């Protein structure tokens, strides 16, 4: 058994050129893990911003969407979470790529090990300001209001706002076991039921921390600077870094600029 987890690619950040290189690296990762994967989980903020208008979707990302469709067509289940940057994913990606869409935390069991899986934003009552903002952003009225603006305006404003996030920068601090909200939230869940592995994204930190003798909290890191992911082999969860060289040149002409990389 091999179950793979990845989060926080923020494709589209900080620009098309840099995003393209990361997108191709993720595709190479997908090709590698698909060789023995039973399932793949993408735990949110895969896109820097995403909104689905009735007849319009954001430009770009055709490579990763095509790869997901190829893998699901071949019978590989791929789970996809909405994060706080791409929470306005509705049904288009599910219908077009075959991904299994999640908007809420999900509990599942693999080989008698119980998993609590979520993007990680808005859990518990630790950040009341953000929870209120998320409630507003996910309300039908706000979604309707956003949908009536021209996509060019919405995309420009959204990327400017999302790109200012401090979490897209390297060196996000770990606040400590007694201050990290995801750790505190996980301990509250453990009071209600046993969970072997809590798996989150969102914080842009790669860590594997014990919560009790039999429970652990794994944060997946990100694919802007760290390129980390986790894999469950049927017995153990392991946090890894993807540092393999891509065996082709990342090459694309955009306007008058040319991008190449190894």
**pLDDT tens digit sequence for 152-169:** 777 777 667 666 554 555
Pair type for strands 39-42 and 113-117? unpaired
Answer whether residue 242 shows pLDDT above 50.
yes
Percent of the chain with pLDDT over 90: 60
Question: For residue 143, what pLDDT is reported?
Answer: 78
In the predicted structure, residue 253 carries a pLDDT above the cut 60: no
Tally of structural domains, the chain: 1
Average pLDDT score over the chain: 86
Between residues 55 and 20, the one the model is more confident about: 20
- If one compares 164 and 19, the residue with the highest pLDDT of the two is 19
Model confidence pLDDT, tens digit, residues 53-87: 888 888 889 999 999 999 999 999 999 999 888 88
Instruction: Give the percent of the chain with pLDDT over 70.
Output: 87
Structural domain span for residue 60: 3-259
pLDDT over 80 (residue 251): no
C-alpha angle with apex 131: 198 to 209, nearest 5 degrees?
20
Question: Does residue 65 or residue 138 have the better pLDDT?
Answer: 65
Spatial CB neighbours of 57, under 8 Å, sequence gap ≥ 6: 50, 92
Q: What is the CATH number of the domain that holds 82?
A: 3.60.21.10
Selected residue with higher pLDDT from 43 and 173: 43
Closest among 118, 5, 101, 98 to 50, alpha carbons compared? 101
Longest dimension (CA), the chain: 58
Closest CA to 237 of 223, 216, 222: 216
Query: What average pLDDT does this structure show over 91-103?
Result: 93
Strand pairing category for 228-232 and 39-42: unpaired
Q: What is the pLDDT of residue 260?
A: 38
């Amino acid at each position: 058994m091999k179950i793979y987890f990845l989060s926080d690619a923020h494709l589209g950040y900080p620009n098309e050129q840099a995003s393209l290189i990361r997108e191709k690296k993720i595709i190479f990762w997908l090709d590698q893990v698909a060789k023995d994967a039973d399932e793949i989980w993408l735990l949110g903020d895969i896109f820097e911003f995403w909104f689905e208008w009735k007849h319009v979707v954001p430009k770009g990302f055709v490579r990763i969407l095509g790869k997901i469709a190829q893998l699901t067509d071949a019978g590989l289940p791929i789970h996809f979470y909405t994060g706080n940057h791409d929470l306005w994913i509705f049904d288009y990606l599910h219908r077009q790529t075959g991904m299994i869409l999640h908007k809420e935390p999900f509990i599942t069991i693999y080989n008698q090990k119980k998993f609590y899986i979520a993007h990680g934003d808005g859990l518990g009552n630790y950040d009341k300001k953000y929870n209120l903002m998320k409630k507003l952003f996910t309300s039908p009225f706000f979604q309707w209001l956003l949908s009536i603006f021209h996509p060019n305006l919405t995309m420009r404003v959204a990327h400017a706002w999302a790109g200012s996030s401090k979490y897209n920068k390297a060196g996000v601090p770990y606040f400590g076991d007694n201050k990290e909200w995801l750790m505190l939230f996980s301990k509250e869940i453990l009071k209600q039921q046993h969970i072997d592995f809590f798996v989150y994204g969102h914080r842009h930190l790669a860590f594997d921390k014990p919560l009790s003798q039999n429970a652990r909290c794994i944060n997946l890191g990100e694919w802007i600077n760290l390129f980390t992911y986790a894999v469950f082999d049927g017995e153990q969860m392991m946090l890894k870094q993807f540092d393999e060289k891509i065996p082709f040149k990342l090459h694309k002409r955009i306007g008058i600029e040319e991008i190449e990389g190894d």
